[in-house]
Amino acid sequence: MAVAGFTTRALPSFECRSDPDFSGVPRPEIPGSAGRFFGKSCSAPTHASFGLSSLILRFPPNFVRQLSIKARRNCSNIGVAQVVAASWSNSHAAAAKAVDAAASAAAVEITEAAVVGGYGSCNDSDVQFEGLDAVNAASFLRSDGSIAIHAGERLGRGIVTDAITTPVVNTSAYFFNKTSELIDFKEKRRASFEYGRYGNPTTVVAEEKISALEGAESTLLMASGMCASTVLLLALVPAGGHLVTTTDCYRKTRIFIETFLPKMGIKATVIDPADIGALESALEENNVSLFFTESPTNPFLRCVDIELVAKLCHEKGALVCIDGTFATPLNQKALVHGADIVLHSATKFIGGHNDVLAGCISGSEKLISTVRNLHHVLGGALNPNAAYLIIRGMKTLHLRVQQQNSTALRMAKILEAHPKVKRVYYPGLPSHPEHDVATRQMTGFGGVVSFEVDGDLTITAKFVDALRIPYIAPSFGGCESIVDQPAIMSYWDLSQSDRAKYGIMDNLVRFSFGVEDFEDLKADILQALETI
């Protein structure tokens, strides 16, 4: 088969990957490609790390024959089908011969001209990787939208298949053909997931997609956003240690910091998101291990100056973790601005369909491995079916976020001008206290708007009940619009005066805009306001 722009050369023999944690699936080298696309740093992986010498997957012979034919039509799969065929052979000699034949048959080198006219630097403002040295290498995918669709899949998925969609690998354990293979694995000469709690091929694809968007070396997916938060805090703050967090945050995170961490002797300093002086004092007076905050925060969408906070914390040896759930990886890249770890409740915008629970953390391989070791002990593993839903959701992430950004900003302006709305909290508005900060470090301001209705608890509830499109529910970030009254939804167990200590007034509304038509949402909100 003649392929324009391709030259041939023999590939080296396949070797097993040596790292046992399977934090990411090894990928073949493509000249000029960026590791960002594969969810690793932008230094391109070498052929030696492309481990296919021992495969677990088994297919019937007729499928192997069909796959081999199809594989020759796709340069990324050439030779892989032959390796699968070899795994079906009962003869080790025949298997070795098939692998050698695959190496010869796959003698293809992709030139720059072969892929959309060559590669360039990551200079697209959509990607925002200019400030991150680890991902400065070139990539032929120049937008976050394309990366969200193809990262972890298109040019090197760890699961051998011609299917466009990533298969769900439903297994609780992975077998070894003989004891010597198990010993090789234990002594780090052979790669395997070993047990479902330690990893899954489907989950790895989702992790690599998120890594690619964040410009991170590694990502770890867990069973929920709270699982990710709590495991991270336990792993990175030592017993008797100290952390700094902010006043405005998700309530369950606050409960964990205020109630559970003190049992380990861990103390916390709580500061206003914009109070840099308080942060400097906390760093001077305490041996701070971690600064942990959301940006934007929940529910007032306060924003932290990530670059400045990272500079101050790093000077004192403290790590910085930013929960970017409200921002999404498209609107804000915390690692680019100096954060060490970025956390997401993938339940929200990343999944995007109100149908899956998941949480993730992204950062350097060293830090994520530290959290991963504790995660393997605590066991909050993500189900591979949930990982599949995350992958599917991310295919439309850029489309959804663009629509939600636009709708939220337009509605925030309308609400701010409405006589029955007292105040609007949205970082895209000049009236927001950190509007300048948000403008510097965000490319979009998110799909959630919080605002205070001109009325009490009952009047506000009347407004919420009059809405026809959004569901009254917790959570946010999905295709369907969601509305809630935080005083009732999240703080009803507290008295009115105790709620007020956290700034939660009875007339506060949090509105998560979905992907419905803007004019429909506008008409619905305006008619509901007319009822009060």
Measured between alpha carbons, how far is 233 from 235 in angstroms, rounded to an integer? 5
Average pLDDT of the residues in 44-57: 35
Contacts of 432 (CB under 8 A, 6+ apart): 301, 303, 425, 426, 438
Average pLDDT of the residues in 278-296: 97
Measured between alpha carbons, how far is 1 from 74 in angstroms, rounded to an integer? 11
Task: Look at residue 37 in the predicted model and tell me its pLDDT.
Answer: 37
Residue 322: is its pLDDT beyond 70?
A: yes
Task: Look at residue 44 in the predicted model and tell me its pLDDT.
Answer: 35
**What is the pLDDT confidence band of residue 83, given thresholds at 50, 70 and 90?**
very low
Measured between alpha carbons, how far is 393 from 401 in angstroms, rounded to an integer? 12
Q: Quick one: which H or E segment has residue 482? A: strand 482-484
Burial of 85 per CB tally in 10 Å (0-12, 13-18, 19+):
buried
Residue type, 72: R
Average pLDDT of the residues in 519-528: 98
**What is the pLDDT confidence band of residue 170, given thresholds at 50, 70 and 90?**
very high
List residues with catalytic annotation. Answer: 197, 250, 323, 348
C-alpha distances out from residue 109 to 25, 33, 152, 213, Å: 21, 12, 20, 27
Burial of 113 per CB tally in 10 Å (0-12, 13-18, 19+):
exposed
Residue 339: is its pLDDT beyond 80?
A: yes
Task: Look at residue 155 in the predicted model and tell me its pLDDT.
Answer: 66
Query: What SS3 state is found at 485?
Result: coil
Task: Look at residue 328 in the predicted model and tell me its pLDDT.
Answer: 98
Residue 126: is its pLDDT beyond 90?
A: no
Residue 70: is its pLDDT beyond 90?
A: no
What one-character DSSP code corresponds to residue 494? S
Average pLDDT of the residues in 123-138: 41
Residue 279: is its pLDDT beyond 90?
A: yes
Measured between alpha carbons, how far is 68 from 36 in angstroms, rounded to an integer? 29
Residue type, 520: D
Measured between alpha carbons, how far is 114 from 132 in angstroms, rounded to an integer? 27
Residue type, 433: P
Per-residue pLDDT of 372-381, as tens digits, reads 999 999 999 9
Task: Look at residue 161 in the predicted model and tell me its pLDDT.
Answer: 81
**What is the pLDDT confidence band of residue 154, given thresholds at 50, 70 and 90?**
confident
Task: Look at residue 139 in the predicted model and tell me its pLDDT.
Answer: 62
Q: What is the DSSP string of 398-464?
A: HHHHHHHHHHHHHHHHHHHT-TTEEEEE-TTSTTSTTHHHHHHH-SS--SEEEEEESS-HHHHHHHH
Residue 316: is its pLDDT beyond 60?
A: yes
Q: Which long-range contacts (CB under 8 A, 24 or more apart) does 88-95 make?
A: 88/58, 88/59, 88/61, 88/64
Mean pLDDT of the chain: 80
Task: Look at residue 158 in the predicted model and tell me its pLDDT.
Answer: 75
Token pair of 395, please?
């295919």
Sign of the alpha-carbon torsion through 305, 307, 313, 318: positive
Phi-psi group of 152: left, alpha or beta (phi > 0 → left; psi -120 to 50 → alpha; rest → beta): left
C-alpha distances out from residue 7 to 3, 13, 15, 115, 209, Å: 9, 19, 23, 13, 30
Percentage with pLDDT > 70 across the chain: 73
Task: Look at residue 194 in the predicted model and tell me its pLDDT.
Answer: 93
Measured between alpha carbons, how far is 219 from 367 in angstroms, rounded to an integer? 10
**What is the pLDDT confidence band of residue 265, given thresholds at 50, 70 and 90?**
very high
Task: Look at residue 10 in the predicted model and tell me its pLDDT.
Answer: 40
C-alpha distances out from residue 16 to 48, 160, 192, 365, Å: 8, 16, 10, 20
Per-residue pLDDT of 451-505, as tens digits, reads 999 999 999 999 999 999 999 999 999 999 999 999 999 999 999 999 998 999 9
Query: Of residues 339 and 37, which shows the higher confidence score?
Result: 339
Residue 175: is its pLDDT beyond 50?
A: yes
Task: Look at residue 142 in the predicted model and tell me its pLDDT.
Answer: 81
Measured between alpha carbons, how far is 452 from 422 in angstroms, rounded to an integer? 5
**What is the pLDDT confidence band of residue 140, given thresholds at 50, 70 and 90?**
confident
Contacts of 399 (CB under 8 A, 6+ apart): 145, 515
**pTM of this structure:** 0.76
Residue type, 447: G
| Lowest mean pLDDT across 12-26, 105-119, 460-474, 487-501 | 105-119
Task: Look at residue 240 in the predicted model and tell me its pLDDT.
Answer: 95
